[in-house]
Amino acid sequence: MAYIGRQPIVGNFQVCDAISVVNGQAAYTLQVGSVNVIPESANHMLVSLNGILQKPGSSFTISSSTMTFASNLATGDVIDFVLLLGDVLDIGTPSDATVTNAKLTSGSFGNITSTGTLTNFTSTGIDDNATSTAITISSDERVTIDADDEKALVVHHNDGSVVRIGMNNNATNSNEIGFDSTDFIVKPGGTERLRLNTSGHAKAVAFTNRSTILNTINPTVDDTNSFEIANGYIHLFRDDTATIKNIIFGKNGSEVGSISTNGSSTSYNTSSDYRLKENVIEIANATTRLKLLKPSRFNFIADADTTVDGFLAHEVSNIVPEAVSGTHNGVKTWTKYDELPEGVSIGDNKLDDDGNTIPEYQGIDQSKLVPLLVKTIQELEARITELENK
C-alpha cells in the first residue's frame, strides 16, 4: 500500500540491514549489523516493498524487533529498504495503491518540488512562498513563519483566547502562555500567575488560595493576594490581617531587613536580634554628641516651594555615621555590576555626555538618630532628677 512520510527527525535516523524475502513468510527481524533494533512504533518507520511505500498498521505491524507484513511474501517480492525515523504522516492512499510523479505534483495532496519541498496544501496543510510559510486548518491560517526576522513566527487565534503551549495529558491543567483580547497571560498548570496588559501594567499572582483574577488591571482596585506594577507604583495586596513580611531584604542568604504589614499598619524592620550582636556597651556622652547635630530648614532644588526640617548628610556623618549613606562630594564610578565600555575599568569615574563627573548623592536614615535621642533624654532626666533632689 503506497504511503508518504515526513522528513526524519535529525539524530534519529537508522537504515536497517537488507532483508531477504522468504517465500510464504510474513515476519522478519530488523537488524543493524548484528544487533536487533526496536522501532518506537510502526509510525516511526518507512518500509518499501516492490518499490511502493507501505502503510504502517494496515500493510505491516511491528512487535519488538519483528516486522510483520499483512500477508505472506512470495518469491520475487523485494523489500527495498526499512528506515527507522520520526513520526510518519498519513496523507491518504490513492485508490489504485500506486504513487506516480503526476500524483505528487498536483491534487489535494499539495505539491512536492524537485528538491523535496512540500508546498501549497489546499484546505489543511502548509502554504510556502518566497516570503513566508503558513500552516492552515480548515482554510484558516493558524501559524505564519515569516522570512522577516522581526516577525518570524505568528500564531493566529481568531477568538481571542489564550494560545496554549506545553500541554500535558490533562487539558484542565495545561500550561498556557500568550495573548487574549487585551493582555499577555502566563498560566502554568492552568492557573493564572502573571498578567501584563496593553497599558504596561503587570500583575504577578503567586498565592495558591487566590479566588479571583482581575481581567483588567486597575491599581485603584484592592485585589487579594497579588502583586502589581502599575502607573509607576508597586502594589502588594493580601486577603488576611495576620502580620506577614511583604518584602524581605537579604545578603549572602541571611535576612537583614523587611517590610511587614498586618490588618492596619506597616512596619519597616532592620535586623536587631541580640544573637546577631557582640561588644554591646551603653551609649556615653549622648547629650554632647547630640549638641553637635545641626538641624536645619531648607527646600530641595527640585521642589522650591516646599520648606522642610532636616539635616545635611555630611554634617551628620561624623556624629552618627551609620545614619548616612554615600560620601561627601561623591561621584558615580564603574562597578563590577556594570557593563563596562571599551577602555573603562572598574573604579573609573562615570562621565556624562559633556565629559563631566556624575554626582553620587548622599542619603540619610533619620531613624538611626533615635538611639542618640533616647540616651540624651535619659541623661537629661537624670540631671533633672539630681537637681530636684538637692
Predicted local confidence at residue 37, as pLDDT: 86
Q: Band of the pLDDT at 219, cuts 50, 70, 90?
A: very low
Instruction: State how far the Cα of 314 lies from the Cα of 157, in Å rounded to an integer.
Output: 61
**What is the secondary structure of 28-84 as a DSSP string?**
EE-EETTEE---S-GGGEEEEETTEEPPBTTTEEEETTEEEEEEEE-TT--EEEEEE
> Residue 289 in contact with residue 319, Cβ under 8 Å?
yes
Instruction: State how far the Cα of 52 lies from the Cα of 69, in Å rounded to an integer.
Output: 13
Q: Band of the pLDDT at 218, cuts 50, 70, 90?
A: very low
Q: 70 or 241, which is more confident?
A: 70
Average pLDDT for 198-209: 58
Q: Band of the pLDDT at 40, cuts 50, 70, 90?
A: confident
Q: Band of the pLDDT at 345, cuts 50, 70, 90?
A: very high
**What is the secondary structure of 183-240 as a DSSP string?**
-EEEEGGGS--EEE-TTS-EEE---TT-----SS--TTS--SSEEEEETTEEEEE-SS
Look at residue 6 and tell me whether its pLDDT is greater than 50: no
Percentage with pLDDT > 90 across the chain = 44
Look at residue 351 and tell me whether its pLDDT is greater than 90: yes
Average pLDDT for 108-112: 45
Predicted local confidence at residue 270, as pLDDT: 92
Q: Band of the pLDDT at 1, cuts 50, 70, 90?
A: very low
Q: 156 or 71, which is more confident?
A: 71
Q: Band of the pLDDT at 183, cuts 50, 70, 90?
A: confident
Q: Band of the pLDDT at 207, cuts 50, 70, 90?
A: very low
Average pLDDT for 242-263: 87
Helical (H) or strand (E) element with 179: strand 176-179
Look at residue 375 and tell me whether its pLDDT is greater than 50: yes
> Residue 26 is placed in which grid cell?
510474513
Rg (CA), the chain: 38
Predicted local confidence at residue 368, as pLDDT: 95
Q: 142 or 373, which is more confident?
A: 373
Mind listing the pLDDT tens digit for each residue in 112-127? 444 444 444 444 455 5
Instruction: State how far the Cα of 96 lies from the Cα of 232, in Å rounded to an integer.
Output: 70
Predicted local confidence at residue 241, as pLDDT: 80
Coil, helix or strand at residue 7: coil
Predicted local confidence at residue 329, as pLDDT: 96
Average pLDDT for 139-162: 59
Coil, helix or strand at residue 140: strand
Predicted local confidence at residue 317, as pLDDT: 96
Mind listing the pLDDT tens digit for each residue in 286-332? 999 999 999 999 999 999 999 999 999 999 999 999 999 999 999 99
Look at residue 87 and tell me whether its pLDDT is greater than 60: no
Average pLDDT for 256-277: 91
Burial class (CB in 10 A: 0-12, 13-18, 19+), 188: middle
Between the ranges 19-23, 85-89, 117-121, 232-236, where is the mean pLDDT highest?
A: 19-23
Q: Band of the pLDDT at 159, cuts 50, 70, 90?
A: low
Q: Average per-residue pLDDT in the chain? A: 77
Q: Band of the pLDDT at 236, cuts 50, 70, 90?
A: confident
Q: 208 or 260, which is more confident?
A: 260
pTM summary value: 0.48
* Residue in 237, 207, 246, 205 with CA at minimum distance from that of residue 219: 237
Q: Band of the pLDDT at 165, cuts 50, 70, 90?
A: low
Coil, helix or strand at residue 275: helix
